[in-house]
Amino acid sequence: MLIGDKDINQQTIIIAELSANHGHDIQVAKNTIKAAKEAGADAIKLQTYTADTITLDCDNEYFQLNNGTVWDGRTLYDLYKEASTPWEWHEELFDYANELGLICFSSPFDYSAVDLLEKLHVPAYKVASFEITDIPLIEYIASKKKPVIISTGIATLSEINEAIEACRRMGNDQIILLKCTSSYPAKIEDANLVTMKNMKETFEVQVGLSDHTLGITTPITAVALGAKVVEKHIILDKSIGGPDASFSLDRNEFKQMVNAVRDAEKAVGKVDYELTDKKKESRKLSRSLFVVQDIKKGEKLTRENVKSIRPGYGISPKYYDDILGKEAKKDLLKGTPLDWRMMRQC
């Protein structure tokens, strides 16, 4: 599956999530995009909504945040007004990212956001965790025939299935499910990354991680377990502050994560039993049968005069019992690697 010009089967796609880490300053946004590129990200992702398209300007109990998040005490409208990326920035940010060679796409939160992103020719769409139950929106997104990346943070198994079926009803099977813990920040012990393998097998889709834990351990582990996409928030400097600063990586931390992920990919590698030239050379240090005491011609080979030791220039130790009791065809000196031609065959 291609996202932009990147094949997720060839290399894990690393997505830098801009989110609210721009402080409503477009230059900060552009500098963050550049930092993501320099850190080694493959893509930058925005969020496309306004406070009015995602919630209601209301401060009754239903719209107050008090769920143990870093945003408790605020209203949804106030939070999203601060966190939103102005729509009038989108084209400029997309163009800038593309100039840098970064894939740029977004999470739309209503139909009008999808329409805007279509005009910008996005190569993929992201469905945020809290939108996974909005089946009509998912159907509209999937109808655009682009890869659909879906975070599963708050969904039950049946709700994940409904979201996937919504995509497939629209003739779109380009689906990637992201394991996500919708806590901000999330505890590392709540990551439960083995769920990725189960999602891949259960729904026959590609899988990845949208991460809100602190640090870089969880993304590295996810890649080792088969994640084809890793998404992590990036911020220029945490001193900027903002709604997502506490669980974002700064540019240096993001680069460390990218380097570690790429190393993890190399370590995972492929199924390989082939003996390379280097392995063959290393085999010289393995065990083999050696003469460990001088043996006269006609004398029998015994456990005292022949042993399995390093290095590996003699007969394989698996033949030890077969050579015991055979007679030497010539004098054999201590330290000689044993060879079949040195003994009489009975």
pLDDT at 290 over 80: yes
pLDDT at 330 over 90: yes
For 120-154, write each residue's pLDDT tens digit: 999 999 999 999 999 999 999 999 999 999 999 99
Structure-block tokens of residue 183: 């806590």
What is the average pLDDT score of the chain? 95
What does DSSP say about strands 125-127 and 175-180: parallel, antiparallel, or unpaired? Answer: unpaired
Domains and CATH numbers, the chain: 7-49+84-268 (3.20.20.70), 277-342 (3.90.1210.10)
Nearest to 257 by CA among 19, 69, 42: 42
pLDDT of 271 reads: 87
pTM of the model: 0.87
For 58-111, write each residue's pLDDT tens digit: 999 999 988 777 788 899 999 999 999 999 999 999 999 999 999 999 999 999
For 97-125, write each residue's pLDDT tens digit: 999 999 999 999 999 999 999 999 999 99
Rounded to a whole number, what is the largest CA-CA distance in the chain? 102
Q: How far apart are CA 309 and CA 183, in angstroms?
A: 57
Across residues 245-271, what is the average pLDDT?
Answer: 95
For 20-32, write each residue's pLDDT tens digit: 999 999 999 999 9
